[in-house]
Structure 1
Amino acid sequence: MADVVREIERKYEATDRTRLPDLDVRGVRSVVAPGAVALDATYYDTSDHRLAADGVTLRRRTGGSDSGWHLKLPVEPGVREEIRAPLTDGPDLPVELTSLIRSRVRGEPLVPVVRLRQEREPLHLLGADGELLAEVSVDHVAAERFGPGGGTAAWTEVEAELGEGQDPALLDRIEKRLRGAGLRRASAVSKLERALTETEPSRLAKEVVAARDGKGRDAAPGKAGKGGKPATAGDAVLRYVTEQIRTLVALDPAVRRDLPDSVHRMRVATRRLRSCFRSYGKVLDRDVTRPVGEELKWLAAELGVDRDREVLYGRLAERAAELPEDLRVGPVEARLATSSHISRDGSRQRLLAVLDGPRYLALLEALAAVRTHPPLLPGAGKKPRAVLRKAVHRDFERLATYVGEALAAPSGDVRDVAAHEARKAAKRTRYAAEVARPVFGERAKRYAKRMTELQELLGEHQDSVVARAALRDLALQAHAAGEPSFSYGVMHAHETARATACEHGLPALWRSITSKDEGHL
């Protein structure tokens, strides 16, 4: 089982003559020198540095107290999660780590790219109870690049790493002392980045740095205009597409690790991408994006098996908890928990199989191709305002049709279906407005907010429809098992009342949107 450590560190330029200043800053009770340690690490990546380009590192390291395989995933600037696995005897990389980088390397083999050997001279900053607050070390590094044309490099740096669970403000106090001693922050955020740059200062190494700075290898149809706004319609759309693809890829390991809300966020990214492809068919060639969109629809559905279960059983548990004691008849909570657990086990295994399957891998390759070789149409080169406004307006008109059908339909299945279609149309219009936000600013933000209000109201209605169907099934199961089914009927009535309230609220909300001409940017 892999261990996970949150790594918060800072690096500083140094020389062989660098000596650390006194580090007895506020909160530190003692500073201990545990003795120098020799570390030897081999870093793995694809031949075109796909991991490094995303700020991810995979290494096999010996020496020190944490010998083993280490996978580092970026969380935010200066913060990474280090996932550790034991050393292996042979050359095979640990599956528990390589599965977490599959979305980034896709089908490319992992090969050794750099070897880093270092002599570390650490200081341990301890608290009142002897706990490790931080480690500050002087690292003498020797880097060797593998492969043709690989070179060598050597440097010295200072690294300050926060102890697990400690206050990041301690690093600020340490930095003040280090700066006072003449040290400055290193330009490279990791030893690997510096090694790649200094052992082969090529275009590829520079791209690694560019990717870390948020530029990456993505193609762009035009330069940013005044104030950083997109200069063309294609630029605006590709910014959004690139952001969603990066989000989807980055969330893959979180979904595999079953981190909170990861499935939902990944599903949203797939929906945003597909919606963008459909809304901006005058910018990106639909002959290319349509099949990709169909695969995104498939992935969203697979992700939804797990996510929809979470939402449904969370909602039903809330309804059960709301029941007065005299209306809670029979083992309602136990049956809900059992049904949720059975569904959870099945959906979880299915989702992991999807992420390890060839169809998902092919989708990732297709998305990578959209990033690097976007299928731009002539409309992509036009000024953004007119193109984006027209696309959003077209989606709004489609939404208006569905809302009209929902308002005109009689209560029951017909209205339920129409309201659900209106909800999906509201979401698509909202996403189209998100694409336009860098161009239209606050107006697009307000527009998307109104679409979110409509989407949430219609979403509450749809959740009630699904909950009522599930309650009916649970009641039948309880009856077949000889249990009372009364409480499920009471919960069903409550859900019916909630749906009715949503239906009554829809006309007023829609009037407020249309009366303010919110359908136009």
Structure 2
Amino acid sequence: MADGHLEIEQKYDAEAGFALPPLDDLQGVSAAAAPRVHELHATYFDTADLRLAAHGITLRRRRGGDDSGWHLKVPAGPDGKREHRAPLGRPRVVPARLAGLVAVHTRGAELVPVGTLETRRTVVVLRDGDGAALAEVADDLVSAYREEGDEPRRWREIEVELVTGGPELLKAAGKRLRKAGARKAKSSSKLGRLLGADVPAAAGAAARATTRARLRELTANGKLPTVTAGDAVLGYVAAQLESLIEFDPRARLGEDDAVHRMRVATRRLRSTLQAYRPVLDAARTEPLQVELRWLAAVLGEVRDLEVLRMRFADGPLFFLDDLARRERGAYRRLNLALKEPRYFALLDALDGLIADPPLGERAQRKARKELPVLVSRVWDRMARQYRTIDTAEDSDLARHETRKAAKRARYAAELAAPVLGASAKRVAKDAKRIQEVLGEHQDGMIAMERLRAVKGRARTPQDAFALGVLYGREECRAETARDRLAVTWSRTLGPSF
């Protein structure tokens, strides 16, 4: 996530009588600063059914120490967490930006206090020879309770967090602490320790992981004859849904390429439901296609403007300002759409597709026999669409439709690749080449349309001239793409399963 600090740390449990060992002689460490003591009070927020905790996410409002405020921590690797912060604000009102970053998990459920921690923290900073902080070692005496009036749970915890030091320092400090009697912490967060067995399994994530793992196991262990068409389709759907969920918070932050990646996952999902209709019951999947098309359109508005901005980096200032303003507006609309119940209902329905698959009549057929038929069918549709380009009344529209058909063929072949191997990979590669050539043509057409829309707003002759140059360049690009299309098509062989 673009604005988040990556926090790399390890936690250790310690008994009340534990003595912190010397750490100033570790390799690279020249000194340990004098201990500083902080009194911390933190209220943790989650949904009533602990959806954030189920995903290892913590959201708190903490007073005391050097970083009072709201802290959102999202897992990022075995020892890492991506941290996002906001000012203290109001005690019971979660900052909208932080709430948005976890909305893909909360899905409209209210965020409420679920626990309180009071911590007496003693911090020792390990420094190098130049005085730079390498790591912070926090010795925490914790009192925690779920609700006010509860008898608090108490424990001691040692936390080593890297500042500028490397993983070797983290490893060396951990070894020293364990030798002194500390133990690897039972939980990666204090809240997780407080909640304990109350933390539920992340049902949607677990179902996706199980579905993907089953397909990987079957395809990796020489069990291809046992893979069904349903196994292949559900494994691919689970992977794309996982990608959509992963890039949701990044898209909200405007992280580079995040909207594009989220849009691709959305399109792959929709294409799969179209191409593999015989495998999944259309009664449940067709409504999802409508919603996926809506989401792709919302993401597409932002993505199209991103593409224009990148293409016209050398354009006149007034034009770039106009694109930037439009892009900001598109991002606002995107963030509003990602807060809608409609979006959360789509996520729930997609999770339901994995947890309770609506298998069709051909789902139990052998994937090695069924997938070639379905991939070939999608390819043939693309070929028929391609042949309309020369005779269509609107040849540019026919090219655009061929591009969309090429994407569907590519995604259908990608789905089949774990089962069909090189033959499916070649089909996907061929379809991708067609898609890319037509994509360059379509990008040029969109660019020329935008240039025509603003030509009357040029402020100076120089601006008008620059727009004309850009238009000529885009026209040339589109024409080149049209010329390349026939050559590219002639080099594709089509399916040969």
Q: TM-score range by the shorter chain?
A: 0.7 to 0.9
The separation in 2 between residues aligned to 1:162 and 1:355, in whole angstroms, is 34
> Which SS does the other structure have where 1:158 is aligned?
strand
Contact 1:468 1:495 in 2 (8 A): yes
Distance 1:278 1:217, change over 3 A: closer
Question: In the TM superposition, what is the alpha-carbon distance from 1:223 to its structure 2 partner?
Answer: 4.8
Are 2:434 and 1:454 equivalent residues in the alignment?
A: yes
**Deviation by residue 1:189-230 (Cα, 9 ceiling, x = unmatched):** 3333343335x4xxx54x25x98xx63577859955543678
> Structure 1: which amino acid aligns with 2:286?
R
> Which SS does the other structure have where 2:477 is aligned?
helix
> Which SS does the other structure have where 2:383 is aligned?
helix
**Deviation by residue 1:159-206 (Cα, 9 ceiling, x = unmatched):** 22111x6545543444454566676654643333343335x4xxx54x
Structure 2 counterpart of 1:416, from 378, 391, 396: 396
> Structure 1: which amino acid aligns with 2:297?
A
Q: Which residues of 2 match residues 257-272 of structure 1 at below 5 A?
A: 257-272=253-268
Structure 1 counterpart of 2:454, from 454, 474, 478: 474
Name the counterpart of 1:329: none
Q: Which residues of 2 match residues 391-430 of structure 1 at below 5 A?
A: 391-406=374-389, 408-409=390-391, 414-430=394-410
> Structure 2: which amino acid aligns with 1:336?
F
Question: In the TM superposition, what is the alpha-carbon distance from 1:47 to its structure 2 partner?
Answer: 2.8
Name the counterpart of 2:355: 372
**Deviation by residue 1:399-455 (Cα, 9 ceiling, x = unmatched):** 22223333x458xx7332222112111211222223223334555445433332222
The separation in 1 between residues aligned to 2:207 and 2:174, in whole angstroms, is 30
Contact 1:3 1:84 in 2 (8 A): no
Question: In the TM superposition, what is the alpha-carbon distance from 1:340 to its structure 2 partner?
Answer: 1.2
> Structure 1: which amino acid aligns with 2:470?
M
Name the counterpart of 1:312: 308
Contact 2:376 2:495 in 1 (8 A): yes
Name the counterpart of 2:298: 302
> Structure 1: which amino acid aligns with 2:397?
V
> Structure 1: which amino acid aligns with 2:5?
V
**Deviation by residue 1:142-174 (Cα, 9 ceiling, x = unmatched):** 544459xx99765544322111x6545543444
Name the counterpart of 2:479: 500
Contact 1:222 1:234 in 2 (8 A): no
> Structure 2: which amino acid aligns with 1:111?
V
Question: How large is the RMSD of aligned CA atoms in angstroms?
Answer: 3.4
> Structure 1: which amino acid aligns with 2:280?
L
Are 2:170 and 1:171 equivalent residues in the alignment?
A: yes
The separation in 2 between residues aligned to 1:344 and 1:493, in whole angstroms, is 24
Are 2:464 and 1:519 equivalent residues in the alignment?
A: no
The separation in 1 between residues aligned to 2:208 and 2:470, in whole angstroms, is 53
Contact 1:219 1:374 in 2 (8 A): no
> Which SS does the other structure have where 2:135 is aligned?
strand
Name the counterpart of 2:188: 189
Contact 2:40 2:63 in 1 (8 A): yes
Distance 1:96 1:490, change over 3 A: closer
**Deviation by residue 1:96-149 (Cα, 9 ceiling, x = unmatched):** 3222222211122223333344443432112344332211234444544459xx
Structure 1 counterpart of 2:250, from 254, 273, 294: 254
Contact 2:212 2:236 in 1 (8 A): no
Are 2:232 and 1:236 equivalent residues in the alignment?
A: yes
The separation in 2 between residues aligned to 1:294 and 1:491, in whole angstroms, is 37
Distance 1:139 1:473, change over 3 A: same
> Structure 1: which amino acid aligns with 2:46?
D
> Which SS does the other structure have where 1:272 is aligned?
helix
Contact 1:43 1:114 in 2 (8 A): yes
Calculate the TM-score normalised by the size of structure 2.
0.86
Are 2:66 and 1:70 equivalent residues in the alignment?
A: no
The separation in 2 between residues aligned to 1:335 and 1:236, in whole angstroms, is 50
Are 2:27 and 1:26 equivalent residues in the alignment?
A: yes
Name the counterpart of 1:328: none
**Deviation by residue 1:214-247 (Cα, 9 ceiling, x = unmatched):** 6357785995554367843323322222232233
Question: In the TM superposition, what is the alpha-carbon distance from 1:14 to its structure 2 partner?
Answer: 4.3
The separation in 1 between residues aligned to 2:428 and 2:103, in whole angstroms, is 34
Q: Percent identity?
A: 43
> Which SS does the other structure have where 2:289 is aligned?
helix
The separation in 1 between residues aligned to 2:152 and 2:288, in whole angstroms, is 43
Name the counterpart of 1:104: 105
> Structure 1: which amino acid aligns with 2:275?
S
The separation in 1 between residues aligned to 2:17 and 2:276, in whole angstroms, is 58
Question: In the TM superposition, what is the alpha-carbon distance from 1:19 to its structure 2 partner?
Answer: 4.0
The separation in 2 between residues aligned to 1:89 and 1:222, in whole angstroms, is 43
Question: In the TM superposition, what is the alpha-carbon distance from 1:341 to its structure 2 partner?
Answer: 2.8
Calculate the TM-score normalised by the size of structure 1.
0.82
> Structure 1: which amino acid aligns with 2:191?
L
> Which SS does the other structure have where 1:485 is aligned?
helix
**Deviation by residue 1:36-60 (Cα, 9 ceiling, x = unmatched):** 4443433222233221222221122
Name the counterpart of 1:80: 81
Question: In the TM superposition, what is the alpha-carbon distance from 1:472 to its structure 2 partner?
Answer: 2.6
**Deviation by residue 1:469-503 (Cα, 9 ceiling, x = unmatched):** 22333334339x77763443333333233223222
The separation in 1 between residues aligned to 2:295 and 2:339, in whole angstroms, is 12
Contact 2:62 2:70 in 1 (8 A): yes
Contact 2:108 2:339 in 1 (8 A): no
Question: In the TM superposition, what is the alpha-carbon distance from 1:334 to its structure 2 partner?
Answer: 2.0
Contact 1:43 1:59 in 2 (8 A): yes
Contact 1:138 1:159 in 2 (8 A): yes
